[in-house]
Amino acid sequence: MIEVAAGIIRRADKLLICQRGADGDCANLWEFPGGKREAGESFAQCLERECREELGIRVRAVRPVAETVYTYPERTVHLSFWEAQWLKGTLEKRVHAQMVWVAPGELGNYAFCPADRDIVLQLQKG
């Protein structure tokens, strides 16, 4: 099972979402920033590292907000979603095709990776 940390990062009333590139898993779909947990790393540490590496920003993982296990045809993913506080930095497109800030009510306008769909519904409800 692949373990992944993902961040719910807010600025004002908007959430940061990222579009995956055209190659690889979930091509062109949207997701919350984060990535795979490394050996010996907590989910909080993973989220903070992935945001530095992939987005060029520093965040603090504040608290877990949801967990889900999703089985794709080729793998099973355990996702831990964390509320995260933006500390500093400017977003850089290092990995993703696009990054946008959206209101929770607008999340339904984006095609998300299947494993993110439950948290999207929760966030839309408030």
Q: What is the pTM of this model?
A: 0.94
Set out the domains of the chain in order of their start, with CATH numbers.
Answer: 2-125 (3.90.79.10)
Closest CA to 110 of 19, 26, 11, 6: 19
* pLDDT confidence band for 61 (50 / 70 / 90): very high
CB 102, CB 110: distance < 8 Å: yes
**pLDDT tens digits for 65-103?**
999 999 999 899 999 999 999 999 999 999 999 999 999
